[in-house]
Chains A and B, each alone.
Chain A
Amino acid sequence: MWSYVARRIFQALITTVVTATAVFIMVRVAPGDPIEVLLGDMASAEEIARGREAYGLDQPLLVQLGIYLGKAATLDFGKSITQGIPVHELVLSRVGPSVLLGLVTILLTIVIAIPLGILCALRRDRTTDKITSGGAFVALSLPDFWLGIVLILIFSRTLHLLPSSGGSGLAFIMPAVTLALPLAAVNFRLMRNETIGVLKAPYVTLARARGLRLFDILKRHVLRNAIIPVLTIGGVQFGHLLGGAAVIESVFGWPGIGQLLIRSIATRDYPVVQGCIILMTVMVVAVNLLVDLAYRFIDPRFRSA
């Protein structure tokens, strides 16, 4: 078990370093000299040379990569070009709202997907199942940012029930619903198919033959087995939301890290872009690692492996 944990932590570290290196390469091959961007059009050749030296850009590329990775490990990404604030302050202040939105979203998907999945597995191919499965199919076909705008149109502009943007009060509801719908559709399908599979298992037949109530069978046998893959995927989805919610955070002006990333890209604020991407990477990798380990602990079949 512990050798597995060690191996997974090592893999997670490798993933982080590989991604950080990819970010480094992208920033270097991107058109536009970072120092010229930093100093503006008015800088003289001498100033640019001094800037290169100050930022270590006159060093060989591999040395630069080493320095960069060392600094990234201590969350030192320099200062924001547009705001002059240290990048880590800017980026870390966005973590809370992103985590909050991610948690609410995942909770919502689980609340939607698990009961519907069980219900549709029991009512397989009947009207309830057909309508819900059809709804899941449609939910996966809609562009999420468009769904968000439609929600704004309905609940904010027409009914005046919810705020259309910001990070306070009830503002989390619409972005969470927007993010949750397609994910809930995925989890619903998984829960439905898992439940159908478990319902066919011999121990369920036996329980039925023994005359146990359906509710008890569902609770004791079906839910406990069918829920494991759904919880696993929920964890992975939570990790993905920390980075992948960027578009929806922008639609609703939610003050998360994704919105900061999109805004920094628009203003070409590359130090902040780097900081966002690397922090997102760390979060995604950490959550994936935790999910993987938790899975091993939850499912007894894996404990000895």
Chain B
Amino acid sequence: MTEPTSLKIRKFPVGVVMLMALCLAAAIGPFFIDFNPASVDTSSRLLAPFSHNRNGAFFLLGTDQLGRGMLEQIVHGARTSLLIGVSAALIAGLAGTLIGVMAGWLGGRSETLIMRIADIQLSFPSILIAVFLAAFVPPSILAVILVLAVTRWAQIARLARAVTVKAKQQNYVEAALTLGFPVPRIIWSCILPNLIAPLIIVLTAELSLIILAESALGYLGLGTPPTVPSWGRIIANGKNYLDNAWWISTLPGLGIALVVIAIGLSGDWMRRYFARGGWEIT
């Protein structure tokens, strides 16, 4: 992150509002805008944005080579992308926290082993791991979610471990141990609260990376099955029509960029918000 100049925060969090609007559009848009991936309409093939077909139907963002509307595909792709992104981030967050807190609490050999595995994974480009795993699983939404979660747990485990190790040295943990509180309760009420703010910040960053990775898998044809509209897949499809239909590949990419920018702005806003509240955000 660029070093923030001050902890001034905007009264109006543009990123958060933008992100909520995009999520809303992705969540309810598909109910209003129908999309059938199997439909073929030769009368409206490769129409440019803002044009009508012979029957007078209007296409705000144009159509692809099968006459399917781009707006429809992009709205449905948004749902796929955000659904996968949020699910994978939550699973990675949950698993990473569990593993990291365990490593940090237990210490010793198990800690060394877990963190070495995390280090090994982090020394590889995550897209390579995602491509490799996706190559071996049959395509489904769940498979993509799990593959992406696997590629991102290590970063979170590292954070959770660091926070746990630090919190464990605090007097209140020692006091709780002396008083004979059960370990799960100590972890729940003494360790995890320390993790909330940094975890939210890291998860936002991870969400961006997951959404970008999902679109790359879709582009390579390793993502969701062909019947599920996905931004990456639309971009790959449009690459064959760059000469006469620039809009097929470019528009979904703008969608991805918009979502990732909104997430980035939200993350930045939250970082400042938490920092003002006295949180130490690494």
Contacts and interface: CB of A to CB of B under 8 A. Distances in A.
A72 interface: no
Given A196-B3, A277-B132, A288 B123 contact: yes
Interface string A140-165: 11111111011011000100000000
Interface string B229-241: 0001001001100
Contacts of B243: 157
Contact of A141 (B126, B128, B222, B257): B257
Contact of B235 (A149, A193, A281): A149
Interface in A217-255: 240-241, 243-244, 246-247, 250-251
Interface string B199-223: 0000000001000100110011110
A6 to B, nearest CB: 17
A157 B136 contact: no
A228 B249 CA distance: 39
Interface string B59-86: 0000000000000000000000000000
A247 B220 contact: yes
Given A140-B264, A143-B257, A193-B2, A243 B128 contact: yes
A74 B130 CA distance: 27
B216 A143 contact: yes
B94 interface: no
Contacts of B136: 26-27, 29-31
Interface in A8-44: 15, 18-19, 23, 26-27, 29-31
Interface string B242-277: 110010011011001100110010000000000000
B256 A143 contact: yes
Given A141-B257, A141-B261, A153 B3 contact: no
Interface size range of chain A in the complex = 35 or more
Q: Which of B1, B132, B250, B261 has the most CB of A within 10 A?
A: B132
Interface in B84-138: 117, 120, 123-128, 131-133, 135-138
Contact of B253 (A142, A152, A196, A240): A142
A273 interface: yes
A222 to B, nearest CB: 16
B249 A149 contact: yes
B253 A150 contact: yes
Contacts of B125: 240-241, 243-244, 284
Contact of B215 (A143, A246, A288): A143
Interface in B157-205: none
Nearest to A236: B123
A125 interface: yes
B5 interface: yes
Given A15-B123, A153-B249, A26 B216 contact: no
B13 to A, nearest CB: 16
| B interface: dominant SS | helix
Given A125-B5, A152-B242, A285-B123, A143 B250 contact: no
| A interface: dominant SS | helix
A240 B122 CA distance: 10
A148 to B, nearest CB: 10
A194 B217 CA distance: 34
B53 to A, nearest CB: 24
Contact of A136 (B2, B117, B120, B212): B2
A71 to B, nearest CB: 19
A241 B253 CA distance: 22
A196 B3 CA distance: 9
B16 to A, nearest CB: 16
Interface string A260-285: 01100110000001000100110011
Nearest to B212: A143
B216 A280 contact: no
Given A26-B132, A133-B2, A137-B264, A246 B127 contact: yes
B220 A262 contact: yes
Given A143-B216, A247-B219, A138 B2 contact: no
B260 A247 contact: no
Given A145-B216, A145-B219, A262-B220, A246 B128 contact: yes
A88 interface: no
A161 to B, nearest CB: 15
A21 B257 CA distance: 37
A26 B129 CA distance: 12
Given A138-B261, A265-B220, 8 more contacts: A15-B120, A143-B212, A145-B215, A146-B257, A149-B239, A196-B3, A244-B125, A281-B124
7 contacts: A146-B215, A146-B235, A146-B250, A149-B249, A153-B242, A244-B127, A262-B131
Interface of A: 15, 18-19, 23, 26-27, 29-31, 124-125, 133, 136-138, 140-147, 149-150, 152-153, 157, 189, 192-193, 196, 240-241, 243-244, 246-247, 250-251, 261-262, 265-266, 273, 277, 280-281, 284-285, 288
Interface of B: 1-3, 5, 117, 120, 123-128, 131-133, 135-138, 208, 212, 215-216, 219-222, 232, 235, 238-239, 242-243, 246, 249-250, 252-253, 256-257, 260-261, 264
The 4 closest A-B pairs by CB, nearest first: A244-B125, A146-B253, A30-B136, A141-B260
